[in-house]
Every structure is written in structure tokens, then in C-alpha cells.
Amino acid sequence: MLLRRFLPDSIAARTALTVVLALLLTQAISALVYVTDRHEGPPVHGPRVLIERVTAIVQLVESTPPRERPRVVRALDDPVLGVTWSETQPRMGDLKDGFPVEALRRRLRQALADPRRPVFIEVRRPLVGPQPGPLPMPEEMHWSARMRLTVQLTDGTWLSFTGGDPAEGPFRLVRFVLWMVAIGGVIAILSLWAARRLTAPLARFAGAAERLGVDGESDPLPEAGPKELRAATRAFNRMQERLRRFVADRTQMLAAISHDLRTPLTRLRLRAELVDDPEMQRKMLADLDEMEAMITATLAFAREDAQREPRGPLDLADLLQSLCDDRVDTGHDATYRGPAHLAVDGRPVALRRAFANLMDNAIAYGGACRVRLAPEDGQVRIQIDDDGPGIPEAEFEKVFAPFYRLERSRSRDTGGVGLGLSTARSIVRGHGGDVMLANRAEGGLRVTVVLPV
């Protein structure tokens, strides 16, 4: 909590801080690797430093008694300039002459004040790869791991100077690659961690926006994170509250209008009873009955919407089987195929009403209702088939509009008011699913309901 006080308060600043910290960490680790991997000190690059060191070592070893020389040489030996002492002349390899070897030999003899001292310079072959023929000398004398300089001491013994172990190069390269891989891994892990910390509030925001389209009663988001995200979250919560109030106000208004229409409908019914023409009276009463049915359905829809039934686990298979059994008991053709039990999360009363509407439509307009339940990856699919004439594809979306009814294939004589499909799709979409229509090749309409598990 204390650290958050010192963090920048914007996404841009936090992203910049993350990049800067990652670069600083990379530089720090690189410097650590350089220091630990280069413990032998700076290498001898040019002939001047080489001559000074060789001259000092030769003079020191010559002034040391022979019995003490091995101990002194071991102390002088290091990975950059290896020093060995032997009483006999070492075996020579590919000796070099000419410039710049002669210039180095002459300057070393001048430094030792002995123009005739034996000095040999050789270049050793690499350990890997065939190298036939003589090895070329570089145009400039730079000390390397493949070079060896041998100097005879005044008592006839020999000192050899080498540029370290020739095998150090490949191992150093492997060690460097491993260090770089380790550094890259650390940086990648830290960057991913930082990125997830930065984007976690955005993921919660996206999830809340997705839930808003499914459940308008979801809890408001906590206002946390950078100031831009807090402002967006605050606006989102206000929008969600306004939408909730808007839907509630419209539902209440619809219920109030439907309730208030009952009084003039009652007066119209009384007046229709006084009409002398029996045919006219019958038509008027039929229209009033239809209006009464529409008002009753609208009030029922408003009441159920206002109840805000809580979600919970339910057995969808058992619900569908019981709906089919109810319709069989009333003498209708209804069958169920699918598992005996299948648990989903939802509102039991609302889902029962949705599937009851769809089954009743199938029986009323298609003469039969065949229900099939099948679980799929992360969802369940419910198919409700009938044996009716189907509906034109151009009407697939129109039939979901409130109070919309087809004139030919879905006659008003059936007594529907046009809220069944609209209510069913509204309930199913409120659970995160959807309702789709299709005409079957063998005849009849297929209603497919998809629900998340």
C-alpha cells in the first residue's frame, strides 16, 4: 500500500516506468556479468604493455634462487598472461619471423639490455578444425590465446608466456549465451508480471462490460487502478445504473399503462353488451377479449421482470422433462431426448417460462413438440422441433418482436398475443445464451436454444 503512493497515476507513466526499470535491470545484470566474468583484469592488447610485463617477470625470476622459482612463477601465472618455467628448452611449434615479430623481439631485447638473448615467438594451431599450411601472422602484434613467447634466462633456463588456455574461448561463449538466456528469461518474466498487473483492471472492466449485456443487475465495479481507468470505471458504473433505472422505469410505465387500460376496457365491454346487432356485438367482444389477453400478458411479463429472480443451480434436464410430461398429461404430443440430469446456473422460474412458451408454440402451430438436450463444450444446446409448416426465413427475426404475429402460418385463431418468442429470447439472452430459428428439411420448424453451462 505504501508503494502505491509513489507510483505514477496514469497508464502512460506506469508503462514508461516499467520500460525504464526493465532497461535499468538489464544494464545492472549485464554489468554484474561483466565484472564477475572478467575477474582476470584487462587483457594485454599491445606490445608495449606485453614487453613491460615480460621484462619485469624475467628480471624477477632471474633474481630468484632456482629452488624458489616454481613458487614465484605460480604466483605470477594468471589467465591473461600464463607463465611457466622450465630448466630445458620447451618444444617449439610454428615459429614466426619478420615484421612485426622482429620488432617485438628487438624491443624485448632492448628492454632486457641483452641484444643476443634467445627470444622465440610461435603461433599455436586452434584445437578444432584442420588448418593445413603455415599460420599467418597479423599485420599488427596483438596478444592472443594462440601465441606463445619463450625467453631464455641468464642461467640457461627458460620462461614461457602464453595468452591463457585456448579452450577458454568456446566455454566463455557458452557461458555468455547461458547468461544472456538467463537475463532474457528474468526480464521476460518481470515484464509479463508487470504487464499483467497493469492490464488486470482492464480485463475486469471488459468482463463487467460483457456481463452487463447478460445481467443488468450485476454489482458495480470497484474504482481502482490508474486515474484513466478509475474515470472509465466510474462512467461505466453510472451508465449501468442509468440503464437499470431506464429499464425499471419503462417496465413500471408499461405495467401502469396496462393496468390503467383495464378500466376503459371494462366500460367498453359494458357498452358492447348494449349493442343490438348480434354480429357486431360478437366482433366487438372478440376484440375486447384480445385486448384483455394482451394486457394480461403484458402485466404478467412486467411482474415477473420486476421480481428479479436470483440465479442458482438447477437441473435443466429435469425441468425439460417435467414440461414435456405436463403437456402429455393434457393430451398433447411431447417427447424428450437427452441426459437424465444436467446442471446449469440460471433462474428456474424464468427458464421454465421461456421453454414453456417455446413448447406451447410448437404444439399450437406444429401439432407436436420434440425436445432434445445435448451438452457441448462450455454450453448446452436445446432443440425443439414441431411438425408444422415452418415460417419464411425473412420472418425469423420479426417473430421475436413484441406483439408480432404471422398472418398465415401463425393464425390469430390460436389465441396468442405475440409475446411468447419475445419473452423467451429475452430470458435466454439474460442468461448469456440465444434463441435461433430454422426450417427443417423434412418439414417443420426447429427452435435452437444455446445456454452457457
CA terminus-to-terminus distance, the chain: 38
Q: What percent of the chain has pLDDT over 70?
A: 72
pLDDT digits (tens, 9 = 90+) for 5-25: 666 666 656 676 777 677 777
Residues 92, 95, 101, 105: what is their CA dihedral angle, to the nearest 10 degrees? 40
Q: Which of residues 251 and 332 earns the better pLDDT score? A: 332
pLDDT digits (tens, 9 = 90+) for 255-283: 777 777 777 888 888 888 888 888 888 88
Can you tell me the mean pLDDT for 341-350? 88
- State the cell numbers at 125: 594451431
The answer to whether residue 387 scores a pLDDT higher than 70 is: yes
pLDDT at 64: 92
Q: 120, 115, 113, 106: which is closest to 62 by C-alpha?
A: 113
The answer to whether residue 128 scores a pLDDT higher than 50 is: no
- Determine the Cα–Cα distance for residues 129 and 136; give it in Å rounded to an integer: 16
Q: Which of residues 244 and 90 earns the better pLDDT score? A: 90
Report the amino acid identity of residue 293.
A
- Determine the Cα–Cα distance for residues 234 and 248; give it in Å rounded to an integer: 21
Pairing of strands 379-385, 434-439: unpaired
**CA 54, chain centre distance (Å):** 61
Can you list the domains of the chain with their CATH numbers?
47-126+135-166 (no CATH), 312-452 (3.30.565.10)
The answer to whether residue 411 scores a pLDDT higher than 70 is: no
pLDDT at 321: 94
Categorize the per-residue pLDDT at 335 as very low, low, confident or very high, splitting at 50, 70 and 90.
very high
Task: Tell me the pTM.
Answer: 0.49
Categorize the per-residue pLDDT at 325 as very low, low, confident or very high, splitting at 50, 70 and 90.
very high
- Determine the Cα–Cα distance for residues 154 and 150; give it in Å rounded to an integer: 13
The answer to whether residue 189 scores a pLDDT higher than 50 is: yes
Report the amino acid identity of residue 415.
G
Which distant-in-sequence residues (6+ apart) come within 8 Å of 244 by Cβ? 216, 217
